[in-house]
Structure 1
Amino acid sequence: MIGSWRSVLDGQMFDYVIVGAGSAGCVLAARLSEDGRSTVLVLEAGGKDSSFWIHIPVGYGRTITDPRVNWKFETEPNPALDGRRIYWPRGKVLGGSSSINGLIYIRGQAEDFDHWRQLGNAGWSYDDVLPYFRRAEDQENGADRYHGKGGPLSVTNLTERNPLCDAFIGSAAAQGISRNEDFNGPVQEGAGYFQATVRRGRRASAATAYLRPAMARRNLTVATDAHAERILFEGRRASGVEFRRGGTAMRVNARREVILAAGSVKSPHLLMLSGLGDAEDLASHGIKWLHHLPGVGKNLQDHYGGQITWKCNRPITMNDVMLSRFRQLKVGLRWLLTRGGPLSVPAGQAGLFAKVLPESASPDLQFLFQTFSGGYYEDGLFKFSGFANFLCPVRPLSRGEIRLRSARPDDTPKLLPNYFSEERDRRIAVEGLKLARRMAASRPLADFVVEEHLPGSPTATDAEIEAYLRRNGGCVSHQVGTCKMGTDEMAVVDPELKVRGVEGLRVADASVMPTLVSGNTNAATIMIGEKAADLIRGRAA
C-alpha cells in the first residue's frame, strides 16, 4: 500500500517492520511476505520509483545528482586527500541505490566470502552464499554451477558493444591479461564485458525485480516518505519504529522483529539515535544509551580510485552523442522503439580485474572502462570525443567511520571515510594507472587515442601520479561495513545478523559486510537480503 495510509498505519502492529526499501529491503519484503500470512511493513524515506530516468539505464547520469531520489551525501574533509570532501550519491527512493546505480552486476571473488567465514562468520563462506546468488538470478546465459535461471533479478549481456570495448580487451591481452567471459564464474581475473541488471532494455532494480511483484499481496504494506527516527524498545527487545511523515510523528509496532535495511549510512545512524553505539559518544550528544556497542559506525570501507581519460579520434563515444542534438534524438528514438542502443548500457561496459602488486594472491585492482569521459558526478561530460578508465583497489585497507553530528534525526551524521590513508591502497592505484597507460599505448586501443587528456604526460613519476589521485580521485559509492558482522568486540551483528545485546532487531544490508567485496556491491547486498530472509524464517542451511 502506497499513498494515503496514515489513518490505518499509525499505531498498528506488523509481524515484521523493515526500515529501508533499498536493495536488501526489497528482497526482504518480497521473501518475508511470500507465505501470505506474515504481515510486513516497509518504511522508505524516499518516494516512488516513478521517474523516467530511473528506468532508462543511462538515466543514472541524471539520477546520480537528483535530490528527489538521492540523499546527496558529502563527506567531511579527508586528510589524505588534501582536505577534499567527496560526494556520496545514495538512493532515496524505492529500490534505494539499485534505482540510481551504474547497473553493473559483479559479485566479488570467492575468496572475499571465504574470508568472512575465516573471521568467524559461520554460514557466510562462498559455498554458503552461492545458492543465494543463484536464487536471486535470472541469468540470460542459463543456469549452471555458478548461475541461476528464473530468479527475480535479470542479469543480461550487453546488446550494444562499442568498438572501444573490444579494443580495450585486446590491449589487455597485449599486456598479458587474458579474456574473461564471466567475472562471476570460476575466476574473476581477466578482461571482458560486464553483465548488467537490465531487463528488456530497462533497469532491473530491486524494486522492479522484488518489491513491485510482491505489492499485490494483502499482507505487505509499503509506506513511502516515511523517515525512521528511532527504534522503540520494551526493555531490551525492539518493539517498533518511530517515524515521521511531513511534520507528523507516528509509531508502528513489530510482533516478531524490526529489520534495518537502510544502508551503510542510515542503519548505523538509526542505531545510534536509538541508544545503540559507543556509550561515551552517545552520552556526549545527550542520548541515553541502551547498550554499549562501540563498533556501530566503525569499519567504514569504500572503493576510492581515479580515472584516466583520453581524447578519441573517432566520433563513437557518448560524448559525441551528447554534443549533437540530432544524435540525441536518434538514440532516444531507438531506445523508445527497440529498448536498445547506447541508452541501454550500464555505466561501465567492459572492465578487468588484475594483480598489480607482486604479493597479491588474487586480483587487487578493478578497471571500469567507460565509452564516455568527464568529471565526477555533477561535473558532466567533456565537450570533445573521449573515453575513460576508472581504476580502484578492490580490497582497500583504509578504514573510516560514521559519527553522530547531533541527536537530531534530520542531521546527516559525519562521514569520515579516511580514503587513501593506507600505503598499499596508494601503491595499487598508482600501478593501476600505469597499467592503463601501457594498455592505451598498445594496439588495438592505441588506434583510437589522440592523446591522454587527464592526468596528461606531465604526470609521470609515481609521486606525481599519487598526487594526482589524491587531488582528483573519487569514489564509486560502495560504502560498507558500518554494522560489521562478526564475533569480536567491535562486531555489531552476529552471523545471523542479530544486533548484539538486544532482542528482536537485525541489520540486513551492505553495512554488515565485515570487509568490502572485490567489485561492485549491489549483487552482494541482494544476496545478503536473500540469506537474511532465510535466517529470519529459520531455513538457512
Structure 2
Amino acid sequence: MYTIRDGVRSSTSEAYLRPASSRPNLHILHSATVLQVVFDEHKRASGVKLEHKGKVMTIGARKEVVLSAGAIRSPHLLLVSGVGPQDHLQRHEVEIVADVPGVGQNLHDHVCVHGLSWTTRKGVTSSTLWNTLNFASIKQYVNNRGGGLGDTLAGVHDAWVKVSNEGDPLWPDIQLLFTPVSHAFDFGIFTPGIHGADQIRWKGYMQEIYGMDGFGMRPILLRPKSRGTITLKSGDPRQLPKIDPNYLHHPDDLQTLADG
C-alpha cells in the first residue's frame, strides 16, 4: 500500500529516476511539457514536440518513443497527435495519422465510499493515533527515521472480500480499508481537505461525532463495470481534455458498493 524507504514515502523520482540519473544513456529534462508525438511519412513515431522554458522544440528518437503519461494524459497526447477515432479528430481539425476508435475509451477507476465511521468508548482508538503522534515518536523519527512516523499509520489494514454472487468466488470485488480513527476525529480541520471534500457539507454530515473516538471503513470497488471517456475540447495540445469518468453508470457497480 505504501512505498517507504528509510522512513520516507518514495516517489517515482526518488525510487527510479534519481538513482539512474548518472547513467550516460539517460537524460532527464525537467519541467518540459510534451505537446505531440511526431510521426514520419511511414506513420511511425519518430520523436516528440515539447515546450521547455517557453521554447517549442522537436526531439527525435533513434529507435522508439515510449508514451507513459498516465491514464489521462496518454490518450490525450495520442488524440492531439492524430491517433484516435477519425470522426472525433476531424471535428477538432486534427490531422489524422491513424483511425483508432478505442483511444480515449474504456476509462475506469476504483470508486470508494468515504465517511463511514463508527464510534467507540473514549480512549479505545485515539490512543493508537496519539501513540504515533507524540514527542517520543517525533524524536525517534528525527534521529533515525524510525518509530511510528517512519512506517504506515498503526492500525491501518486492508481486507479483500467477495460480496457479489457472480464470477469466481475466490476473486474479490471489494477492498475494505480499515482506519483506527474516524473521519471526524480532527473536528473537520484537516480531513476534508485531504479527501478533497466540501468543508460545509463535511461538517453537516460529520459534526455529530466531531472529536469522538471511533474507526472508519472504506469500501473500494475493485472491478468496476462502468466505463468513461477522455475526449478533446479542442485540437490545441495545451488545452486540457474533457474527462467523463461515468462513475456508477452500470447498476452492478452501485450494488456491489452497497453490498460492500
TM bracket (short chain): 0.7 to 0.9
Counting aligned pairs with the same residue, the percent is: 35
Corresponding position of 1:429 = 257
> Structure 1, unaligned stretches of length 5 or more?
1-103, 105-195, 433-541
Corresponding position of 1:407 = 235
Corresponding position of 2:223 = 395
Corresponding position of 1:281 = 88
How far, CA to CA, are the matches of 2:249 and 2:131 in structure 1?
39
How far, CA to CA, are the matches of 1:339 and 1:354 in structure 2?
34
How far, CA to CA, are the matches of 1:321 and 1:278 in structure 2?
55
SS of corresponding position for 1:368: strand
Larger RCO (CA under 8 A, 6+ residues apart) = 1
SS of corresponding position for 2:112: strand
How far, CA to CA, are the matches of 2:172 and 2:98 in structure 1?
40
The structure-2 alpha-carbon separation of the partners of 1:246 and 1:317, relative to structure 1 and needing over 3 Å to count, comes to: farther
Corresponding position of 1:368 = 177
Corresponding position of 1:296 = 103
Aligned length: 233
Q: Encode CA deviations 1:359-407: one digit per residue, 9 max, x unaligned.
A: 3422111111123424462348985244321112211111111111112
SS of corresponding position for 1:425: helix
The structure-2 alpha-carbon separation of the partners of 1:265 and 1:214, relative to structure 1 and needing over 3 Å to count, comes to: same
Report how far residue 214 of structure 1 moved. 1.2
Please say if 1:231 is aligned against 2:40. no
Corresponding position of 1:311 = 119
How far, CA to CA, are the matches of 1:378 and 1:419 in structure 2?
17
Corresponding position of 2:245 = 417
Please say if 1:205 is aligned against 2:37. no
Q: Encode CA deviations 1:235-287: one digit per residue, 9 max, x unaligned.
A: 11111111002321111110100110110111100000100011111111111
Could you tell me which amino acid in structure 2 is paired with residue 218 of structure 1? P
How far, CA to CA, are the matches of 2:22 and 2:225 in structure 1?
44
How far, CA to CA, are the matches of 2:152 and 2:96 in structure 1?
44
1:240 to 19, 38, 47: 47
1:272 to 76, 79, 99: 79
How far, CA to CA, are the matches of 2:236 and 2:26 in structure 1?
30
- Whichever of the two has the greater Rg, that structure is 2
The structure-2 alpha-carbon separation of the partners of 1:228 and 1:283, relative to structure 1 and needing over 3 Å to count, comes to: same
CA contact (8 A) 1:317 1:386 kept: no
2:56 to 249, 252, 266: 249
SS of corresponding position for 1:217: coil
Equivalent residues in 2 for 1:175-190, closer than 5 Å: none
Q: Encode CA deviations 1:453-505: one digit per residue, 9 max, x unaligned.
A: xxxxxxxxxxxxxxxxxxxxxxxxxxxxxxxxxxxxxxxxxxxxxxxxxxxxx
Could you tell me which amino acid in structure 2 is paired with residue 309 of structure 1? S
SS of corresponding position for 1:296: coil
How far, CA to CA, are the matches of 1:294 and 1:341 in structure 2?
52
